[in-house]
Chains A and B, each alone.
Chain A
């Protein structure tokens, strides 16, 4: 087949047409052409105040100035994809590591950080390895952690558990037992925001890890399609099915969202006993239901599965967010200096102050002074001791796989797709 190249102008034209405002009115001066400054593009949310502060600190001493540009969260990935190959691209940008930067690496847009790390080994050694590794592609480092880690934990309403005579489950069988007891009380055992789809995914991530160990997914991601067909894969699926069929999630979970506070409200009002959720659920509850968070909110790791290969210490979730650097930047050395601030004491303290848990080696010494020392220490130990910290599947795969994967997850979970169809759907995902 003849593969001709379309002109760049046509490409830009189509960007304008398709992306409408995304491309057209994107970020005013977000151009790296300026002398003596580089642009940092971040996901717009409450954490931006820390990023602003760090940029100010950097600009006090540096000759080359950093300029912070924020994009509202929901549009971030779309905006990034649209500008990154244009002259308006930033020099440094926020990402989730893994699959989120893989297409950029393949298009040869990103700067491997190995040279910067060779000059200053602390850029790597000052971070927890299970987190730092997430932003490595083909053995090269492409990102430096820049926010907090978010492992997935099993949250519970202690009062509901006590009323039903259930205990915090350490094993899968204990979880099934607790589900049975809570259900007998007429309460939905586990809250699930199935309409968001990614909360459902968390159950798959943990069960696959506990049953088959972290390698099954790693192999599948590397292109080994047979992994999805293995006996262990089928066993994990059967266990999910068992839990759903036992009524653990009730029947209307696919109409409930986490993002509009639907499922957190179930947990806090005692209409559900458990919720499997990222560590951010703690601050969500603190904000929405401070009394509940202080008195009855319990948290623990995912139960172990007897006979499973996965280490009970393994965790899944969002390892951290990362700063990656574009190859075309003119200020690589200044950016190297900027990235050093991501393990500074000031950075760690500022992140802890807003409830984020940084993954630097110096984090531990500041935990005592934080607002929720017990919770943060629990998490930090969990991440520090984890033999495997699996990045959420939808972020480990490139963006192209996101929608088809989520649809398959939801359909298997609610029974509209059987195990064979699910395996086929996962095999059809493009890992490239």
Chain B
């Protein structure tokens, strides 16, 4: 750990194994493993330890009152035979998929547009990013009031909303959740794309312009391919975020009507904190961890993200 404080001095004495050749040929000293210690400690304490405990609990039956009892595979076989569980997984995947499909194009367009350095864009971007500053709870309460069928927007626009039974019908409730998520998270992903679009080397556009490429061609043949890494990052964030969506469901629909928006994360809460069946709740939690990990790995694999060595966007 002493070496940490004197990275420059050590350079001439020995070639350290962690040293890396930067693009300009200079040797760049990477920080030692000690730097990771605080983060690793917190991660272990607040992520690994609870995860292990949840895994243990998923094989137990516990109502929070008496000591947990070992229940073997009961919780897991229970999940397999629970139609609501299977429905909830499907709903999670559906909502996540719809989220990716709606948010990605919007946030790319918005991000690339906001990457321009014109003053009006800066002002408008600042306004677009406001939802990012609001808490999910506030957002849900706000939308709930806006969408009230008798006194909200639907009451004023019957031609569009019909009887306004948005949160009371399956399609309506799912659409509302997708809409609110889009409104809430698009700014965040747009921010990622804004940064990435600004990092695209200007020379590429200049070369393309000389070749006679128009605005649209430049977008599809330069900007989009250059944003590839950011797209993958953003999609993974959307997938993980989508699978663990909880607060908006809790406030907007409470899993309803019936169980039509009981996504897995909400179902986990319902089992653990409404039914006080912590064993089942833990099993669902663990299942969610596995599903999210598998999906993320697949995305990484398909995209070839794991084979990219460069540190520059898209190169």
**A-side interface residues toward B, CB under 8 Å?**
1-6, 8, 10-11, 13-15, 17-18, 78, 81-82, 84-85, 103-104, 107, 109, 194-195, 197, 250-257, 260, 262, 265-266, 271, 399-404, 407-408, 410-411, 414, 416-417
The reply to whether A17 and B70 form a contact with Cβ atoms under 8 Å apart is no
Could you give 23 example pairs across A and B, Cβ below 8 Å? A3-B71, A4-B69, A5-B68, A5-B69, A6-B56, A8-B67, A10-B56, A14-B68, A18-B272, A81-B65, A84-B65, A103-B65, A195-B257, A197-B256, A250-B163, A254-B169, A255-B149, A260-B145, A399-B274, A402-B274, A403-B275, A407-B262, A410-B256
| Cα distance A103–B66 in the bound complex, in angstroms | 10
- The smallest beta-carbon distance between B75 and chain A, in angstroms, is 13
B270 CB contacts on chain A under 8 angstroms: 403
Q: Which 5 pairs from chain A and chain B are nearest by CB?
A: A254-B168, A17-B50, A252-B165, A411-B258, A255-B168
**B-side interface residues toward A, CB under 8 Å?**
49-50, 53-54, 56-57, 60, 62-72, 144-145, 147-151, 163-170, 172, 253-260, 262, 270, 272-278, 281-282
The reply to whether A10 and B53 form a contact with Cβ atoms under 8 Å apart is yes
| Cα distance A3–B71 in the bound complex, in angstroms | 7
Q: A81 and B276 in contact (CB under 8 A), knowing A6-B70, A255-B148, A256-B149?
A: yes
The reply to whether A399 and B276 form a contact with Cβ atoms under 8 Å apart is yes
- The smallest beta-carbon distance between A259 and chain B, in angstroms, is 10
B167 CB contacts on chain A under 8 angstroms: 195, 254-255
Q: A6 and B67 in contact (CB under 8 A), knowing A18-B272, A414-B258?
A: yes
The reply to whether B276 and A103 form a contact with Cβ atoms under 8 Å apart is yes
Contacts across chains A and B counted by CB atoms under 8 Å: 151
The reply to whether A254 and B257 form a contact with Cβ atoms under 8 Å apart is yes
The reply to whether A107 and B65 form a contact with Cβ atoms under 8 Å apart is yes
Task: Specify the main secondary structure of chain A where it touches its partner.
Answer: helix
The reply to whether B276 and A255 form a contact with Cβ atoms under 8 Å apart is no
In the complex formed, the residue of A with least CB distance to B66 is: A107
- Of the candidates A6, A197, A265, which one forms a contact with B150 in the assembled complex, judged by CB atoms under 8 Å apart? A265
Given A14-B68, A416-B170; 19 other pairs, CB 8 A cutoff:
A11-B62, A11-B67, A14-B56, A17-B50, A81-B63, A85-B65, A194-B168, A251-B165, A255-B167, A256-B168, A260-B145, A265-B150, A399-B275, A400-B276, A402-B275, A410-B256, A410-B258, A411-B257, A416-B260
| Cα distance A407–B273 in the bound complex, in angstroms | 16
- The smallest beta-carbon distance between A82 and chain B, in angstroms, is 6
- The smallest beta-carbon distance between A431 and chain B, in angstroms, is 13
